[in-house]
Amino acid sequence: MWFTISPKTWQFTNSSNLQFFPLPTKIKTIPKAYNGDDNSTESTAGKIKRMVLSQEGRTKLNILPDREFYAYPRFVTHVDDRFISSLTNLYRERLRPEFEILDLMSSWVSHLPQEVKYKRVVGHGLNAQELAKNPRLDYFIVKDLNQDQKLEFENCSFDAVLCTVSVQYLQQPEKVFAEVFRGLKPGGVFIVSFSNRLFYEKAISAWRDSTGYGRVQLVVQYFQCVQGFTQPEVIRKLPTEKDGAAPQNQWPLNWIMQLTGLLSSSSDPFYAVVAYRNFKPVHE
């Protein structure tokens, strides 16, 4: 489902029933979409060498379609200021102004450095109202990656793909990571960041039942299962009691708050796993 932003309306054109909704004044153009019927005989996507998750590991407590769960917009930040600052600094270090960026599983905010104007930022998510509020997006698509992992972009479209605090909801992560590989340009970077917050009933079993270390290793394996990604780089910033980490006797309460996607506002650990398509470029 594609969305364009125009002076008066946005519209989606994946249905015979055309619908219009008000949007801020902004004019953008959608580039040519990836054509699944082209004449190429081989995909440039990385091959999946092995599946990481078992069938049981992909299950969720809430089995209703994700589109229903995310039908109503949530204009909140799901991580604390410390996490956001660490993420924005990482983007500042790894992303360049000339980059074309795909913000995968995005929302109303992308956490990109405000002082940097990128060549193009494309958003993807499940709630059009949230995405329409995101000032960094030039345009966006709405798609459930647990239903269909295909992204309607040409091969080698992006210099960077970002996935922020959402990887825990992917039921087919191997296929999604392979599709990201296809969409990245050679030397393009995929940055996956997460913390210990989650919508517990919507996270996959393999994520729910794991620890911080185990979740990092899970994402590392997602990268490693796709032929062509560089060795994943792991970045960790764990809070101390000085930073507001919860004392030992508060951990059960933290776990209960995680069931609803909430946690103490000053104790979010920062994890990021970063890898590149084919090679890590050197920028002078």
Q: How far apart are CA 88 and CA 28, in angstroms?
A: 25
Which residue type is seen at 239? P
Q: How far apart are CA 269 and CA 213, in angstroms?
A: 11
| Range with top average pLDDT, 38-42, 66-70, 120-124, 194-198 | 120-124
Q: Which domains, from first to last, does the chain contain?
A: 50-238+266-277 (3.40.50.150)
Which residue type is seen at 94? R
Beta pairing partners, 19: 12
Residue 180 buriedness (CB in 10 A; 0-12 / 13-18 / 19+): buried
pLDDT tens string 154-207? 999 999 999 999 999 999 999 999 999 999 999 999 999 999 988 899 999 999
pLDDT tens string 47-88? 999 999 999 999 999 998 888 887 777 766 778 899 999 999
Q: Quick one: pLDDT at residue 254?
A: 53
Higher-confidence position of 258 and 215: 215
Q: Quick one: pLDDT at residue 6?
A: 39
**What's the start-to-end Cα distance of the chain, in Å?**
39
Average pLDDT, the chain: 82
Q: Quick one: pLDDT at residue 252?
A: 52
Would the CA dihedral through 82, 86, 88, 89 be positive or negative? positive
pLDDT band at 123 (very low <50, low <70, confident <90, very high): very high
pTM score of the predicted model: 0.79
pLDDT tens string 235-278? 999 987 666 554 444 455 554 554 444 444 457 999 999 999 99
Question: Which distant-in-sequence residues (6+ apart) come within 8 Å of 284 by Cβ?
Answer: none
HSE (CB half, 13 Å, CA atoms) of 237?
Answer: 16
Coil/strand/helix, residue 87: helix
Q: Going along the chain, which residue ranges are E strands?
A: 2-5, 9-12, 19-22, 100-104, 120-125, 139-142, 158-164, 184-194, 233-237, 270-276
Q: Percent of the chain at pLDDT above 70?
A: 74
pLDDT band at 28 (very low <50, low <70, confident <90, very high): very low
